[in-house]
Each structure stands twice: as structure tokens, then as C-alpha cells.
Amino acid sequence: MPDKVHTKYILNEDEMPRAWYNIIPDLPKPPAPVLHPGTKQPVTPDDLAPLFPMALIMQEVSAEPYIEIPDPVRDVYKQWRPTPLFRARRLEKALDAPARIYYKYEGVSPVGSHKPNTAVAQAFYNKEAGVKKISTETGAGQWGSALAMAGAFFGIDIEIFMVKVSYQQKPYRRSMMEAYGATVHASPTNLTDAGRSILAKDPNNMGSLGIAISEAVEVAAKSGGTVKYSLGSVLNHVLLHQTIIGEEALLQMAKADDYPDVVVGCVGGGSNYSGLVFPFIGRARQKGLKTRFLAAEPMACPSLTKGVYAYDFGDTVGMTPLVKMHTLGHDFMPPGIHAGGLRYHGMSPLVSLLHDEGIIEAQAYHQNQVFEAATLFARTEGIIPAPEAGHAVCATVQEALQAKEAGQERVILFNLCGHGHFDMAAYDAYFAGKLEDYEYPAEEVLAAQQRMPQVG
């Protein structure tokens, strides 16, 4: 029987998982190979060496079911991990639905999101390889804040290309990164060939994650090995590091004597979603469970629900390797919605494969309904969600109401991947009725998809 007393389920430090879970051995088929952008042949570790330390490259291609978390990484994790799992009893009451709702809260980290789970790991492996400087991109600033903090911990200089619209919408995220010692640029910039080429076409370009990736990759690729590149989502090793979320949640659901019927998370590149969901997918596939897995994305940038499953560049200019993923087209420019961390044209190859195989579902939501759900959550549970996390809240509310309509009990677990304390301008716009609901521009997406690379 589910626990009828407690609201918070916690683990002590000794119960923190000692390994990350690798979903690749539990996939229905192997992931498609990553291709060299020039030759279109599978990349080798040597091809990736200019960008990443070898330890991360080996994790990217590993088929080991678990990879041990190094002690120095666990020591840093202990500053905020294990994170709590909550039963959303007040939200349940407000919805008056036959649903038991749980949320894993990653906003207790020093930067207020799940991103340090991989930032700390990546900084550690770069430090071990003797790296002095890392370049990266960031959308809403949560990833940039996390890597800036990790760089400070391990003595590595961090240079960040922040999407210009978010740079302007979220100035305190920028200040947070600078407080940790990072250098932050509003992307696109005049500092790189990629940025200059974008600005030559559109001097008022407000940026995208794809453009910021191009600039950060260029800095590393042209450094002669003195700068490495790091990213906060999409690639296998990034998703691997995030699975500590789901590994903890499995233990905490056992403490609650309950188990989810559906597991929910927001998706942009796939990191927080994978972090919670992958261990539960592994459990479901190993034990034959009927758990559903739902990915919530913005209607304005719906890569899973409207994108094509094909090879594409991870960046706008076309510098990165080609990966098979759900994509809207690498040069698609999403509208300037406030969920900046979800404004990405593509999706993690692993998440894309699981969606293509029918193992996970996806649903897109308009930002006004997202903020409506996020506000309800704040007024019942007390935590103000980040706009990105608001998509998971919105999907959870819809799941609970569907259970109510069907007259069926439903246990829902979602990842509240970050708080919205630096996103109050977005809430201001919502309360003032100034948020626009953007439908994704079908003609522009089709045109962008037609410019994708042709891979046989």
C-alpha cells in the first residue's frame, strides 16, 4: 500500500547511487552511428579528441550497463545530493483527481537545476586530462551556470556563448555565471566565423542554441587543443551522468511503497528527461512493466512531435558530427519563448530512438497553458517552476485530469528539474497577458528540413 503519511522521501549520503546507469544495453536496437560531417563515415575516438577528453569519448560509446561515479564527483554531489522526492498532496487536492503525484526536485542544487550532475562530471574528467579552458553554449543559462560553478571547483576557465534572447531576458543568469568566474557572450557574436556569418545575414539575429553551439565548437576546434568543448544535453555521456536522478527516484519510490504508471519530464535536448526516465525504462524492459513515459515539449519548437527522424547537424552552421535524431532542421530559428532551455532544433539521439521505437510518448504544449499549470503548482506546492520544468507540470496536470475523466487511479512521477527564481520576468509577462502562443511555423520548418544534409 502507498505511504499515507509522508510528503517528502529522502536518502542519506550513504544511499546515494555509486554508478550511472547506461541505457544502451537495454535498447531494442543499437543507436545509429555518429557520422563525420565531411566524409559521412562513422566517427572515431580520434575524430572527437579535439573536442572532448578521452574518458568522456569512451563513455559516449560504452555498452557497459553501469559506469562508476568517481569519488571526487560524488564528493561534490554531496553538497546537494541525494535530492528529495515529494508527494504533491496539495496539488492532488486542488485537482480533485484519483492521481498520486510525485516529483523529483532538482532545484535544490546550488545553481537551481539538474545541470550540475553532468557539469561536475565533465569538469572532473577535463581536469584529469589537464584541460585549462572549456568553451560551451547555454540557452536559459542553467547549463552555463552549472559549468561555471564546476569550472570554479576544478580550476578550469569557462567561456560561455549564451543565446542572445535569453541573455537579454535573464540578466541575472548571466550575473550568476560571472560570479563563478566565467566569461559570457551574447550569441551570435563577432568573435567567431560562425557568429559573423549569422550576423552578416541578419544583424538583429536573437540567437538559438544551434548558433551558440557553432560558436563554442569553433573556439575549441580552432584552439589547437588548448580548449575543449562541453555541452549540457543531447550526447550519450551527458544523459548518462543525469541518470543519478532516476536511480535515486527508484529508491525513493520504494520508500513510498508506490510505483509510477507514467513518468514525465520536459524535453529540449533530453538531459533532465533522460536522467529521470532512463532508469525506469530499464526497470520496465527488464521486468516487463507497462509504465508509460511522456516527454513534454513546447509547441513552438516541437522536435519530437513535428520533427523528422534523420541525420542532421547538432549546430546551425554545420560544424558538428551528424547524428540521427528527431530534428526540425539545423538552421531552424525557433521563436523567442521564455523556456529558453527547450529552444533547440534537435533531440538526443537516444531519446529519438526510444520515441521512434514507441517506447516513449511526446506531447507539445503552448506556453500560456504551461504558465497556468506552473502557477497552480506554485500556489499549491510552494515551488515556482522554471518555464522549462513548467512543461512537465503541465503534462502532469493533464495526466491527472485524464485520470479523473476516466475514473481511474493513476500514479504520476515527474522531474521538477529547476526552480524559476531567475525567470520572474516570464511570469510577469504571463500575469500581464503578454505571452504569445506560437504555433510552430510549418513552412519554415519544412524549408529548414530540406536544407538538412543528405545521408544515404
Q: For residue 336, give the CATH number of its domain.
A: 3.40.50.1100
Q: In whole angstroms, what separates CA 11 from the centre of its chain?
A: 24
Query: Where in the sequence is the domain holding 297, given as residue range(s)?
Result: 8-16+69-112+237-450
Tell me, what's the pLDDT at 326? 96
Q: Could you tell me if 24 and 235 are in contact, meaning their C-beta atoms sit under 8 angstroms apart?
A: no
Tell me, what's the pLDDT at 63? 94
**Assigned domain for 23 exists:** no
**Assigned domain for 287 exists:** yes
**Assigned domain for 370 exists:** yes
Domain count, the chain: 1
Tell me, what's the pLDDT at 209? 83
Backbone angles phi, psi at 263, to 5 degrees: -115, 130
**Assigned domain for 124 exists:** no
Q: Is 125 helix (H, G, I), strand (E, B) or coil?
A: helix
Q: Could you tell me if 135 and 220 are in contact, meaning their C-beta atoms sit under 8 angstroms apart?
A: yes
Question: What is the value of pTM for the model shown?
Answer: 0.95
Selection from 2, 81, 83 nearest residue 255 by Cα: 2
Other Cβ atoms closer than 10 A to 454: 7
Largest CA distance in the chain: 63
Instruction: State how far the Cα of 168 lies from the Cα of 349, in Å rounded to an integer.
Output: 30
**Assigned domain for 142 exists:** no
**Assigned domain for 63 exists:** no
Residue type, 322: L
Residue ranges for the chain with pLDDT beneath 70: 336-341, 343
pLDDT digits (tens, 9 = 90+) for 14-36: 999 999 999 999 999 999 999 99
Residue type, 336: G
* CA distance to 80, 145, 344, per residue, from 420 (Å): 18, 14, 20
Q: Could you tell me if 286 and 21 are in contact, meaning their C-beta atoms sit under 8 angstroms apart?
A: no
**Assigned domain for 168 exists:** no
**Assigned domain for 455 exists:** no
Tell me, what's the pLDDT at 339? 57
